[in-house]
Amino acid sequence: MLAAVSILHIYNLWQGSRLLEWLRRTELDANLRFSGVWGDTGDRILRLIKLKDNQRQASEESLRQLLAAVQASPHGVVILDSDSRIQWSNQTASRHLGLDPRIDVQQLIGNMLRSPAFSQYVHSKSFDHEVIIEGRLHRIDRPHKLGIQLFPYGDGRMLLLSRDVTLIEQAETMRRDFVANVSHEIRTPLTVLSGFIETLQTLFLNDSIREKYLILMEHQSNRLKSLVDDLLTLSRLEGSPFPGQRDWIAVADLFKSCEEEAQGLSERLHPSSKNRQKLAFQMHPDSLEDEIAGNKTELISAFSNLISNAIRYIPAGGQIRVKWTRTSDEAVFSVEDTGPGIAPEHFSRLSERFYRIDRSRSRDTGGTGLGLAIVKHVIQRHGGSLEIESKLNQGSKFSLHFPAARYRFQKKETVNQTESI
Ligand code: ADP
């Protein structure tokens, strides 16, 4: 009996150690080669191991997916330990802050982000807002701004988020400049107007001086009206959908409206006919039925802005040529003058709002500084472009190029307008 128990015990020990050895070496999907109680034990252990392995794989996969999602974030993400040392960072943070995700692990964030604004932010310990710092690619002529915010969590750890705010900051600067410019443009005529009103109220003036003052007041209030009109036009252009290609407008009609307006302006600016500029509106007879697809009010506004600039800037007796030409690729509306011309360094800024070369000449002739900004908006909304050619003391040519899809014409046998004009 004792011998049998001993043999059974030895057998069990042997089976147990075989099973243990098998479990140590075997792959998880191998077939179990044990039977009886050792087979059941092995099977149970194997199932538990498989379960744990599946759970490990699932959590590894979730972690991988989570990291991939954080990598794809447009925000830079940096995980900091309780000593503010970098634990992990994503690719966007590398780009924003110049971090190397492997080499810079354990570096103090303060050593990597050497910005006085950021140091101040860290010391303030008030992290309910972001701090704006200059990005590492920042240059005076090419700003690069980052918004950085810290989020404390756990036992002293922190999450650092960074985002590129260059465009937002630029838009904010433009908005501030625009408001400052508009306020300045409005304040000047208003100051003049209120000065005249005060004088009229307090002094007894003879009729001729009174009349003179009223004319000057009218001039200032017209200036205010033009400014408000141009501001409204700009805001309509920015806030409305692009003109479609269903409404066709006859170029000859546009020319007619512009010509009437131009004659009126020229007469107002030069009451004496011998000082008036020579205005030539040239359309080839074959183009009289040409049409442009777009918005009539916008097109008249763009065309007449270019014409009125020419009338306002060229001296008495100068010449202005307004032309419409087309090929099979594009149609061009152009206004050419023999005026003072523009130095090339101004070209790129001329269509900025309120950019003027000669401020007083612009104001004296009723300019708002918004004309070319309107022209550029209109032509871009019609799929075209504005071209400026000019030579100092020789004259300027402003051309609006329309793409082929935006105009149509009756095919004639011989059409070569450029030559015949
Ligand atoms: P403004 O109302 O001042 O004319 P614009 O936006 O129409 O504003 O034009 C911007 C600036 O471009 C003008 O102030 C002027 O200095 C210059 N400019 C525009 N057209 C001409 C031109 N035909 N000849 C010379 N300078 C021009």
Q: What is the CATH number of domain 73-164?
A: 3.30.450.20
Residue 368 CA: which ligand 1 atom is closest? Answer: 2
Cβ–Cβ under 8 Å, residues 276 and 318: no
Write the CA distances from 372 to 172, 280, 306, 333, 388, integer angstroms: 22, 21, 8, 15, 11
Phi, then psi, of 68 in degrees rounded to 5: -65, -40
Residue 367 CA: which ligand 1 atom is closest? Answer: 2
Mean per-residue pLDDT, 32-52: 81
Mean per-residue pLDDT, 82-90: 95
Q: What is the CATH number of domain 169-240?
A: 1.10.287.130
Question: For residue 67, how far is its CA from the centre of ligand 1 (angstroms)?
Answer: 55
Residues with CB under 6 A from ligand 1: 309-310, 313, 337, 339-340, 342, 350, 355-358, 362, 367-373, 396
Mean pLDDT of all residues belonging to the chain: 90
Question: For residue 118, how far is its CA from the centre of ligand 1 (angstroms)?
Answer: 44
Cα–Cα distance for residue pair 194/202, rounded to 1 Å: 12
Helix intervals (H) in 203-292: 207-239, 251-269
Write the residue with the smallest CA distance to atom 8 of ligand 1. 369
Write the residue with the smallest CA distance to atom 7 of ligand 1. 371
Per-residue pLDDT at 421: 39
Per-residue pLDDT at 419: 42
Write the residue with the smallest CA distance to atom 20 of ligand 1. 309
Per-residue pLDDT at 280: 92
Write the residue with the smallest CA distance to atom 14 of ligand 1. 356
Q: What is the CATH number of domain 243-411?
A: 3.30.565.10
Residue 363 CA: which ligand 1 atom is closest? Answer: 3
Per-residue pLDDT at 257: 94
